[in-house]
Amino acid sequence: MNGEPTVDRDYSDLYGLENYLFSKVSARFTKTKTLSAFDFFCIVIWKANRAKSKVARRLLDAGFVDLPSAVAELAHDIDKFPEPKERFRVLIQKWRLRLPMASAILTVLYPEEFSVHDTRVCEILGDFASLSDRVNFESLWDGYVTFVDRVHKVGPAGLSLRDKDRWLWGKSVAEQLTRDIATGFAKTRGDDEEDA
What pLDDT, on a 0 to 100 scale, did the predictor assign at position 196? Answer: 52
Around Cβ 70, how many Cβ atoms within 10 Å?
A: 22
What pLDDT, on a 0 to 100 scale, did the predictor assign at position 159? Answer: 97
What pLDDT, on a 0 to 100 scale, did the predictor assign at position 186? Answer: 85
- Full-model pTM: 0.90
What pLDDT, on a 0 to 100 scale, did the predictor assign at position 166? Answer: 96
CA proximity to 77, closest of 52, 49, 105? 105
Q: Are 140 and 147 in contact (CB under 8 A)?
A: no
CA proximity to 120, closest of 189, 58, 171? 171
Helix H, strand E, coil C: the string for 91-126 is HHHHCCCCHHHHHHHHHHHCCCCCCCCCHHHHHHHC
What pLDDT, on a 0 to 100 scale, did the predictor assign at position 7? Answer: 64
Around Cβ 150, how many Cβ atoms within 10 Å?
A: 20
* Rounded CA separation 131/141 (Å): 9
The residues spanned by each domain of the chain are 9-113, 115-184
- pLDDT means per 10 residues in the chain (196 residues)? 61 92 96 96 97 96 96 97 97 96 98 96 96 96 98 97 97 95 78 51
User: How is residue 112 annotated by DSSP?
Assistant: T
Residue 83 CB partners (closer than 8 Å, separation 6+): none
What pLDDT, on a 0 to 100 scale, did the predictor assign at position 188? Answer: 60
**Helix, strand and coil percent figures for the chain, each rounded to 5:** 70, 0, 30
